[in-house]
Structure 1
C-alpha cells in the first residue's frame, strides 16, 4: 500500500509542476495574438491602432493584469474546466473544438498503438525464442533499417503510391465532402478508407520499438535460472516462453505502452498534417502557428494529464505484475 500512496503523491506533485510549466512556456513565445489578428486585417506594413488591439483583446477574453494574476486566473479556469475561446476559431470554445477532434485521434492512434503493441511483442518474443535463426536475423537487421525511415517520408510515399498513382484510397481528410455524416455502414466505410493511409504510415514503424525491446529483454530472461528450471522440468515450450520468460520481459514495455496511450491527446502532428486528418495533432499545429494560447495550452494540458495518468497506471500495473517492485519500497 505504501508503494501506491507514494506513486499517487508524486503524481499530484508532477501534475502541479506540469500545469505551471504549461502556463509559462507559451508566454515565452514572442508576439501578441491580438496584434497578429489586427495586422491580418489592416496589413503588415501599416500602423496598429491601440484601440483596435484593446478591442480584440476584450473580444477574445485575453487575461489582463500581471503574470501572477494571470497564473491564479489560469489555475481557476483549469479547476473549473473552463478553457476559454479559441483565438483561431472565434467564437468557438476550446472544449468544443477539442471535442470534435479528439475522437478522430483516439480512433486512429489508439487502434494503431494497440495493434502495434500486441503484434510487436508477439513478434519480439518469437524472435527471441528462435534467436540466431533466419527470422531473428530479419527482425534484427531488416526492421532496424526500416525503423530509421522517418514518418514523413513513409507517409508521403504511401500517399503518392496508393492515393495519387493507383487511386485506391482518398488523399486527405477524415471523410468525403459528399458524406451524409450520419451513422451508417456507408459513412463508417468512408471513414475507414480515409484512415487507412494514416494508420498504415504509423504501423510500418510503430511496432519496431516493441519488437526490438521485447526481443532484447526476453533474450536476457531466457538466461535466468527460473527459465532454465522450467525447461529442465519438461514444461511445454509455449508455457516457458509466455508464462515464464515473456511475462517478465514485457514489464518495461508495459510502461512504454502506457506512456504512448497517454500521448494520444497530442495526436500525430506530422501524419495528421500530411493527410489533413481532422485530429488533435493538426489542431495543435494550427494553434501553435496562430499563437492560439487557450487552444494550445488546453491541448498540452490534456496531453500532460494523459501522460501522467498513464504513467501512474503503469506504475500500478508493474507493481501488481512484479512483487519485487513493491518490496523494493520497503
Structure 2
C-alpha cells in the first residue's frame, strides 16, 4: 500500500476537496498565535477592570470609614479615624494617583485589604470562606444545566418536528420565572409540605464542618433545593440555543454528504452536527460564569446560603468598599479565565481558527 493511500485512509471523506482537508491532515494543532493574541487582549481587559474597580468606590458618596464612624456613634477619636483611613487606603491627604499606585502594590502582594463588615478580617479570608460554597453550588448547577440542556437541545434539533419539541415551550417558560419564585415554590412543596429537604442554610447549626459522612450528607441535602432551582430556571436557554443552532447546522452540505456516505446517524449527530452547533454554546457558557455571583444573590437570600452573593449584598449594605472591590476582582478574574478557556476550546474544536493562523 502506498504512502498516499495510507494518508488518504485517515482523511475524512466528507472533507475531501475542501480547504479543511489540510487542517485534518495536520491534526489538531494548537493555534498559539490566536491564543497569544487573546491573552494580550484579556490582560488589557484585566488592567481596565482593576482600574475601574479602584475609581468607582471613590466616586461614590461617602466611604467605608465614614460609614463605620457613623455606626460607632462618635466613640472613635480623630486619630483612630485617620488610622482607619490609612488602613483602608482612603486617606484624603494622599494624592489619588498615589492611592492608585498603592492599590496596585497591595494587589501584587496578594493583599486585598481589610473588611469592616466581617470584623476587620482580611478581605481574602472573607472571600475564601464564602467562595467555595458558591462555586460548589452554582458552579456545579451551571455545569449540569449546560450539559443536560445542550445534549437535550441537540437531540431535539436532530429529531425536529417530533414529540420532543414539547420540551421547548416548557423549558422556555421555566426560564422566564425568577430564581426566587421557583425557590419559594420548592421550599413550600419539598420542604414545608413534604419535608424532604431543608429550607435553608448550608448545614445544620451546631454541626462541626469536616470531611466526614454526616457533614457531607448535610451539605448535599441543604444544597439540593437551590441547585434544582438554578438548573430548572437556566436549562431552557441551553436547550433553545442548541436546538436552534442544530437546525442551522443540519442544512449544511457536509451533513448531507455525511448521510449520503452511509454514516451512522449517531456519528453524524455528535461528530459533525453537534460538534459545530455547540461552538456558540461554549462562548455562552463562559459568559454564564460571570452571572454566578450577580445572578444568585436573591437565591442565596431565599435559602440563607452562605455564598459570595450574600457576602456581596452584606458588603454593599455596610458600604464595605474593600470587600466589594475584592469580590468584583474575583468575579472579573473568573470571567476572564473562563473566556480564555472557552477561546482555547473554540480554537481547538473549530478548524477554521487553525486555518486562519496558518
Alignment TM-score, normalising by the size of structure 2: 0.85
Which residues of 2 match residues 156-305 of structure 1 at below 5 A?
A: 156-261=184-289, 263-264=291-292, 268-305=296-333
CA change 1:206–1:107 in 2 (3 A) is same
Matched, 1:14 2:45: yes
Corresponding position of 1:87? 116
Matched, 1:146 2:174: yes
> Is the contact made by 1:222 and 1:245 (CA closer than 8 Å) also made in structure 2?
yes
Which residues of 2 match residues 64-103 of structure 1 at below 5 A?
A: 64=91, 65-103=94-132
Corresponding position of 2:77? 52
| Runs (5+) with no aligned partner, structure 1 | 43-47
Q: How far, CA to CA, are the matches of 1:59 and 1:18 in structure 2?
A: 26
Q: How far, CA to CA, are the matches of 2:47 and 2:261 in structure 1?
A: 52
Aligned residues: 323
Measured after TM superposition, the shift of residue 27 of structure 1 is: 2.3
Q: How far, CA to CA, are the matches of 2:200 and 2:354 in structure 1?
A: 48
Measured after TM superposition, the shift of residue 262 of structure 1 is: 5.3
Q: How far, CA to CA, are the matches of 1:53 and 1:185 in structure 2?
A: 52
Which residues of 2 match residues 117-136 of structure 1 at below 5 A?
A: 117-136=146-165
Matched, 1:37 2:63: no
| Runs (5+) with no aligned partner, structure 2 | 1-31
Measured after TM superposition, the shift of residue 8 of structure 1 is: 1.4
1:139 aligns to what SS in structure 2? helix
Measured after TM superposition, the shift of residue 25 of structure 1 is: 1.8
Match of 2:345 among 308, 317, 323: 317
CA change 1:17–1:259 in 2 (3 A) is same
1:107 aligns to what SS in structure 2? helix
Measured after TM superposition, the shift of residue 52 of structure 1 is: 3.5
Match of 2:88 among 62, 72, 80: 62
After superposition, the C-alpha distances for 1:146-174 in whole angstroms (9 at most, x for unaligned) are 21111121112212222233332222211
Corresponding position of 2:8? none
Q: How far, CA to CA, are the matches of 1:324 and 1:167 in structure 2?
A: 53
